Amino acid sequence: MKHLKKFLFTALTVFAVFMIGMQEIHTEAALPAVPNDSFNASYSTYSKQVTVEVGEGYDKYEVELYNSNMKLATRDECYSYAFFKVRLNKLYYYRVRGLNYERETGSYVPATEWSAYKAIWTPNKNAVSVKLASKTSKNVLIKVPKVAGIKNYTLYMSSKRDSGYKKVGVIKPGKTKVVSKLKGKTFAYYTNYYYKLVPKVKKAVSTSPVIGYFYISKTYR
């Protein structure tokens, strides 16, 4: 009986040590996540190019770009910026992960998990129509395009280019919204107003607010 108890005790001890070791291995193998606020994207209508700017902390970054159907379009490895040629007035998703150089293999290996997806809209200059309801009216008509993957657009407006944006409403793709006031006041003559549109995407991805937006100024006469 003593030998049996001693055997069981030894077996349980070995098993416990084995499990602790496995837990340590699992902990060491777990990779950190890339913070959503450590990377962003912008686009150029002129060059038809999306630029993804990554943060610091890793030897290199891998960036993937997906179309609106979540199919991989292209990927790139970079140190600070990744550049992608795109089609205008489309919705794209992108994600990043950090890479570190491994001397043993002489290659770059993943140092983080893939980030959550973010999205960017690439509107061309004529994608959104902004005009007065008539020559004598101060009402503004804003028409947004239909873009695959975009459910609707949230409209923000301001009398200042870089601040003071106020939510005006939501516009469905292909529809026009009439805006007559900003912050309770009718639009003034000979004044520039700015707006930005934030698309709501159809895909249920974990992402920060969509980066794709733009503003234009308009003098109402």
pLDDT tens-digit map of 5-46: 454 445 445 444 445 454 544 445 689 988 888 898 988 888
pLDDT recorded at residue 14: 44
Q: What is the CATH number of the domain that holds 152?
A: 2.60.40
Between CA 1 and CA 62 the distance in angstroms is: 61
**Token pair of 164 as six digits:** 């003071």
Q: What is the pLDDT of residues 52-100, one digit of tens each?
A: 999 889 999 999 999 999 999 999 999 999 999 999 999 999 999 999 9
Q: How many CB atoms lie under 10 A from the CB of residue 140?
A: 22
Domain shared by 165 and 92, yes or no? no
CA–CA separation, 80 and 77 (whole Å): 9
Secondary structure of residue 101 in the 3-state scheme = strand
Q: Is residue 6 part of a domain?
A: no
Half-sphere CA count of 126, side-chain side, radius 13 A: 0
At which of 65, 99, 121 does a domain end?
A: 121
Pairing of the two strands 60-66 and 49-53: unpaired
Same domain, 135 and 209: yes
Secondary structure E strands in 159-214:
166-171, 176-179, 181-182, 185-186, 192-201
Decide if 191 is inside a domain: yes
Q: Are strands 192-201 and 150-158 parallel, antiparallel or unpaired?
A: antiparallel
Range of the domain at 199: 129-219
State the Cα–Cα distance between residues 138 and 186, nearest whole angstrom. Answer: 7
Tokens 């690439």 belong to 122
122-136, 141-155, 159-173, 197-211: least confident range: 197-211
Quick check: helix, strand or coil at residue 181? strand
Same domain, 105 and 174: no
Q: Which residue has the higher pLDDT, 191 or 213?
A: 191
- What is the number of domains present in the chain? 2
Query: Would you say the pTM of this structure is higher than 0.75?
Result: yes
Per the domain annotation, does 176 fall within a domain? yes
Q: What is the CATH number of the domain that holds 56?
A: 2.60.40.10
Is the distance from CB of 110 to CB of 121 less than 8 angstroms?
no
Q: List, for residues 142-164, the tens digit of each pLDDT value.
A: 899 999 999 999 998 888 888 88
